[in-house]
A and B are shown apart, each in its own frame.
Chain A
Amino acid sequence: MAARSGSSEPDDPCEPALPFVVVTLPAALLTLFPGCKRRVELSAASVGTAIDALNASWPGMRDRICDSTPRIRRHINVFVAGERATLQTRLTQGAEVLIMTAISGG
């Protein structure tokens, strides 16, 4: 599901509503995707599908956050409610997803 800024209501009233969450991206990632905002509101049930939504809006972003294992890259940290998360971490309504660059480089 693509990132958006509108309502969290699903198109199909028979489908359960996906949690509406807010993802905060690291500044270094924004320079790689012109036009991307620091805070992105989207609907997703897990960290993995949240990253899928980011990738739908900014093609290639998944490869910058995840490797092909697939898992979150070694020097990228994702926090949900202050806890380290994986791609499988479930999201609840209103969750804050914080994607950060870890200590690395040389």
Chain B
Amino acid sequence: MAKQILILVGSKKGAFTLTSGPQRRSWELRGPFCEAWPLNHVVADPETGTIYAGGGNEWFGPAVWQSKDLGATWTHSSEGLAYQAGETPIKSVWSLAPSAGALYAGVEPAGLFRSNDGGQSWQHVAGLREHPSRPNWQPGGGGLILHSLVPHPTDASQLWIGISAAGVFHTADGGATWAPRNQGTRCDYLPEEQRYPEYGQCVHCVVMAAGMPDRLYQQNHCGMYRSDSGGQHWDSIEQGLPSTFGFPAAVHPRDPATLYLVPLNGDIAGRYVPDGRAAVWRTRDAGASWQALRHGLPQQNIFFGVLRQAMATDRLDPAGIYFGTNTGSLFASADEGDSWDCIAQHLPPIHSVETLVIEA
């Protein structure tokens, strides 16, 4: 029985938490935490309840913050979170993922680190940057960032990662070796005969379906995709959506066929919600058809976007869905997206949204 639920918000100016009971009717906002550092991702380890916040400060560089008391107090560390002398230094931490007792961090410029002591110290997972494609990795608009971390739920040796704009890579040996997993995803920004390369895709977000480790969903710069083969091949699921462009993707906590996206109007069209009307788009059939969810969302003169890590679900029943905007508003649905409320506004630009359910 859930006692409490927290929404964890990473923003341009620190971390925030919003706390509610299991009915999710009202929310208490606290923050900003972490000395108002720019934070790209705030997550919780559901096994320990520890909250981790990754980012990079303009003056003091990258670090991972952590709180063991739901945000009341914080410490920070970047011990070992560095490339070798002479390489371009790490600018910021972009993504965090607890997995099988370890904690992974994706950083800019793109690379992967692992902590085996709860974020106190870090080791470089060097195999990824030793991949022969690495000299050809190109930065996307947000930099050369490793932003998606998708651990296998039962096999700790497997992990999928997403790099903008190098694409999706997969390891089956704990990070020693990696293989591109981009077949079927296209690059509209390349000449027509080069649009399906082995790597170089501008992946925006990769998530795994609940209970189906081989089923991945991907929001790309150029389309939305599903793979039922662990990324060996991807199929377009963008038909029925208002555009091919967006950033976040969030899966239902139990139904592997249900996915939520926030399509934007296009990469060079302003990157806000189409027609100035906010909508979350939901599929209940793995991308075969889509439904616009607008009830309670603003429908006039809306020009916000939602960034790649700024949408999440909780594991309650019915599932809660949450997204934060780059204009500092946070929206929540306690009925799987059928209706929405704005639960915070005038926050800094929101970079990430995650949830933590605390049992009684």
* Residues of chain A having any CB pair with chain B under 8 Å: 28-29, 31-32, 59-60, 63-65, 67-70, 73, 75-76, 101-102, 104-106
Contact = CB atoms under 8 A, between A and B. Distances in A.
Interface residues of B, number: 20
Contacts of B90: 67-68
B85 A69 contact: yes
A106 B349 CA distance: 11
A75 B58 contact: yes
A76 B59 contact: yes
A101 B83 CA distance: 24
Contact of A104 (B59, B81, B89): B59
Contact of B85 (A28, A68, A101): A68
Contacts of B77: 60
Given A60-B78, A67-B82, A68-B89, 15 more contacts: A32-B60, A63-B79, A63-B81, A63-B82, A64-B60, A67-B89, A68-B83, A68-B85, A68-B87, A68-B90, A73-B60, A75-B59, A101-B59, A105-B59, A106-B12
Contacts of A31: 35
B84 interface: yes
Nearest to B58: A104
A64 to B, nearest CB: 4
A11 to B, nearest CB: 29
Contacts of B277: none
* Chain B, interface SS category: loop
A57 B87 CA distance: 27
A64 B58 CA distance: 10
Contact of B78 (A63, A73, A76, A101): A63
19 contacts: A28-B35, A29-B60, A31-B35, A32-B60, A32-B76, A59-B79, A60-B77, A60-B79, A63-B60, A63-B63, A67-B82, A68-B87, A68-B90, A69-B89, A73-B59, A76-B59, A76-B60, A105-B58, A105-B59
Contacts of A68: 82-85, 87, 89-90
Contacts of A101: 59
B268 to A, nearest CB: 23
A71 to B, nearest CB: 9
Contacts of B76: 32, 60
B35 A32 contact: yes
Nearest to A28: B59
A10 to B, nearest CB: 30
B168 to A, nearest CB: 27
B153 interface: no
Contacts of A63: 60-61, 63, 78-79, 81-82
Q: Which are the 6 A-B pairs with shortest beta-carbon distances? A: A67-B89, A68-B82, A104-B58, A64-B60, A68-B89, A75-B59
Contacts of B89: 67-69
Contacts of B142: none
Contacts of A105: 58-59
Nearest to A101: B59
Contacts of A106: 12, 58
Interface in B75-109: 76-79, 81-87, 89-90
Nearest to A67: B89
B42 to A, nearest CB: 18
Nearest to B35: A31
Contacts of B86: 69
